[in-house]
């Protein structure tokens, strides 16, 4: 185990990484991201970070930044980005769809594949919440992802289906839009929900059966129920690659307790150090 595996991100010096802003064009719109390059080696392995619905590349409690700094300290690069319509990226949140987000993830993966300093045989993904499902779909299409870690992973839309079915399906049903998943004052359009409730990861997971996967989920998560991780485990029960679940007893969707958030980051760093 690297001596840097348990370093507090605040203690990391700038000498372990270089940060570069990244702009990737997808379907005529700019995706903005941040590339963390470890200074210890070239080419370096890399992890792509995918945020959840209504999130951004920094992450609640700056967890995306801290995790990237920790990985850089052990020689692993990261790229974190905002989906179109989120954070700094171009596009409108109301026009975002599941398909557009998968397309964004694939655009970032293509950028990684073309980067001269990246080890193309060592690409990993860290997905959070909805970003976990998007990670699975993108990785299945790419076919070269080596390992994955999923935080509070969403498996399907069943949890929210009763609310969705409560109203008649109307193209511009504002009442339905506002009740479903308004987050921080943002509401996706109905096309997002039409695609969201058709998410089926089973075939994608079969394509990824040889990819090791770590799941980390808070037992007090009211946003994405713990049962989603149990569905992942069931779908992976015959997978030859390692599948591991870490439960955080006191944590909500955002891993709010500091000690358990540190556990999530520590275990994630160890996982990628081991499997990437």
Both tokens assigned to 273: 């150090």
Average pLDDT over residues 106-120: 97
Question: What's this model's pTM, rounded to 2 decimal places?
Answer: 0.90
Both tokens assigned to 208: 């990824």
Domain spans of the chain, in order of start: 9-156+199-275
Answer whether the bond into residue 43 is a cis peptide, omega within 30°: yes
> What does the alpha-carbon distance between residue 259 and residue 5 come to, in Å, rounded to a whole number?
16
Query: What are the φ/ψ torsions at residue 82 (nearest 5 degrees)?
Result: -100, 130
Average pLDDT over residues 194-208: 96
- Answer whether residue 266 shows pLDDT above 80: yes
Tell me what pLDDT residue 187 has: 77
> Per-residue confidence at 10, pLDDT binned at 50, 70, 90?
very low
Instruction: Give the domain 9-156+199-275 fold.
Output: Rossmann fold (3.40.50)
pLDDT one-digit tens code per residue, 152-184 = 999 999 998 887 776 545 445 555 555 555 555
- Answer whether residue 4 shows pLDDT above 50: no
**Can you tell me which residue has the tokens 């990437």?**
276
Tell me what pLDDT residue 37 has: 97
Comparing CA positions, the residue from 84, 54, 101, 76 lying closest to residue 254 is 54
Query: What is the percent of the chain where pLDDT is above 70?
Result: 87
Average pLDDT, the chain: 90
């Amino acid at each position: 185990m690297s001596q840097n595996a348990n370093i507090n991100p605040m203690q990391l010096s700038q000498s372990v990484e270089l940060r570069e802003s990244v702009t990737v064009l997808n379907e005529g719109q700019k995706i903005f991201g941040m590339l963390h390059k470890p200074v210890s080696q070239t080419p370096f392995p890399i992890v792509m970070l995918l945020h959840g619905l209504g999130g951004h590349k920094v992450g609640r409690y700056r967890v995306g930044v801290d995790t990237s700094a920790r990985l850089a300290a052990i020689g692993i690069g990261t790229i974190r980005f905002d989906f179109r319509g989120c954070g700094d990226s171009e596009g409108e949140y109301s026009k975002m769809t599941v398909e557009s987000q998968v397309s964004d993830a694939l655009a970032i993966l293509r950028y990684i594949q073309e980067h001269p300093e990246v080890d193309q045989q060592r690409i990993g993904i860290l997905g959070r919440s909805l970003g976990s499902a998007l990670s699975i779909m993108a990785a299945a299409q790419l076919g070269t992802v080596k390992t994955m870690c999923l935080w509070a992973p969403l498996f399907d839309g069943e949890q929210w289906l009763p609310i969705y079915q409560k109203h008649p399906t109307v193209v511009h049903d504002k009442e339905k839009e506002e009740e479903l998943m308004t987050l921080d004052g943002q509401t996706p359009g109905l096309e997002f929900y039409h695609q969201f409730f058709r998410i089926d990861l089973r075939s994608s997971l079969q394509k990824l059966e040889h990819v090791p996967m770590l799941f980390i989920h808070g037992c007090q998560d009211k946003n994405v129920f713990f049962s989603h991780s149990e569905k992942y485990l069931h779908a992976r029960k015959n997978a030859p690659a390692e599948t591991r679940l870490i439960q955080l007893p006191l944590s909500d969707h955002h891993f709010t307790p500091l000690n358990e958030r540190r556990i999530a980051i520590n275990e994630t760093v160890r996982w990628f150090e081991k499997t990437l």
